């Protein structure tokens, strides 16, 4: 799989789950989602002269209007990965219609509390099986809330039977009034590392092998950073040149939402010509990848500690405001399960 640039693309906001640790979801779709056709999206990415690897997430991406057609159109030239709860019946259409050689992986978020509440187990394993039968690389993750530790072995069992790794995923930020991952107890950290090491053994023999696939999103890294991720502030990074993030509103950022580089709907993209110092915080998987340090070197960097109480409160308020803003901006374009 050869590509020139990666994009973490928040494709939409609509989601049928309502996880407490998620700030990128809404019960109705944003008015700009699906504003242009799959063919117009393809024209934009083609116009850059680059081959893209597009990491499609949401919301729940399978709720994006005509999602399977969008994937089929994009993969006529580019590559994708998908981050989904795999609850939709459209997953089997995806498995049947999309060229597996153009898909880096399918990441299944289990979200056990919401899946229990919404009776979401019924379609999960059949959908995973449909992807595996077509040869798609699949892995699953479980966000490790305090209650998830006791449930992890039970949840992992059916995935293990299919040869799919269920990987523990660390909470990052505020959850139930505590700041994570620093709030994990020593017993929880020990369990987390054990679950992660077991998942890595399964992954080595499965369809998703991060060592071979150059996987950017890799929750197996989380066990190394339970006391905080390295702080790369000021370190040269290729974000903005070799990777970008894209919002559901078409805006293109270097990373996070600080430096705007373009807009899909305006057919505009101005990438940096060179690496530039890190000046923002983003998903730690991307930071670890694009700072391009070896694992041993990363360990020498200072870790981002838990912020003080005032900053924690401000971050929580900002997250709530973002969620409220998402819900206000989203209206009258509901997707279908």
Where in the sequence is the domain holding 132, given as residue range(s)? Answer: 5-329
- Give the pLDDT confidence score for residue 6 in this predicted structure: 95
Residue 337 belongs to a domain: no
Chain-centroid distance of CA 322 in Å reads 18
For residue 41, what pLDDT is reported? 97
CATH of the domain at 79: 3.20.20
CB atoms under 10 Å from CB of 76, counted, come to 12
Q: How far is C-alpha 225 from the chain's CA centre?
A: 18
* CA separation, residue 89 to residues 82, 120, 334 (Å): 15, 12, 16
207 located within any domain? yes
Regions of the chain where pLDDT drops below 50: 296, 309-324, 326-327, 330-337
Pairing of strands 103-109, 79-84: parallel
- 334 within a domain of the structure (yes/no): no
Over residues 228-254, the pLDDT tens digits come to: 877 888 888 899 999 999 999 999 999
Residue 156 located in a structural domain: yes
Domain membership of residue 336 (yes or no) is no
Q: Given this model, what pLDDT does residue 214 score? A: 67
d(CA 312, CA 302): 19
80 touches 55 (CB < 8 A): yes
pLDDT score for 279? 87
């Amino acid at each position: 799989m050869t590509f020139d640039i990666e994009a973490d693309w928040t494709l939409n906001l609509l989601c049928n789950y309502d996880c407490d640790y998620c700030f990128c979801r809404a019960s109705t779709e944003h008015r700009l989602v699906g504003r242009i056709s799959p063919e117009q999206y393809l024209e934009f990415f083609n116009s850059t002269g680059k081959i893209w690897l597009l990491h499609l997430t949401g919301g729940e991406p399978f709720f994006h209007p005509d999602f399977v057609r969008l994937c089929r159109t994009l993969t006529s030239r580019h590559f994708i990965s998908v981050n989904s709860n795999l609850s939709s019946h459209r997953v089997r259409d995806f498995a049947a219609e999309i060229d597996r050689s153009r898909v880096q992986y399918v990441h299944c978020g289990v979200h056990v509390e919401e899946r229990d509440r919404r009776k979401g187990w019924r379609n999960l394993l059949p959908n995973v099986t449909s992807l595996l039968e077509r040869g798609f690389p699949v892995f699953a993750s479980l966000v490790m809330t305090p209650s998830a530790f006791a449930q992890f072995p039970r949840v992992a069992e059916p995935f293990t039977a299919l040869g799919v790794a269920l990987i523990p995923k660390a909470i990052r930020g505020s959850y139930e009034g505590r700041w994570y991952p620093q709030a994990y107890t020593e017993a929880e950290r020990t369990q987390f590392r054990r679950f992660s090491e077991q998942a890595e053994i399964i992954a080595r023999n499965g369809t998703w092998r991060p060592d071979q696939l150059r996987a950017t999103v890799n929750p197996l890294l989380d066990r190394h950073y339970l006391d905080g991720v390295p702080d790369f502030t000021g370190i040269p990074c290729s974000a903005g040149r070799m990777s970008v993030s894209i919002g559901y509103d078409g805006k293109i950022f270097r990373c996070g939402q600080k430096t705007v580089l373009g807009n899909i709907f305006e057919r505009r993209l101005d990438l940096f010509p060179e690496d530039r110092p890190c000046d923002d915080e983003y998903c730690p998987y991307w930071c670890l990848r694009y700072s391009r340090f070896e694992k041993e070197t990363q360990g020498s960097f200072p870790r981002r500690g838990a912020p003080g109480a005032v900053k924690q409160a401000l971050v929580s308020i900002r997250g709530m405001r973002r969620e409220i803003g998402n819900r206000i901006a989203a209206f009258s374009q509901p997707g279908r399960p």
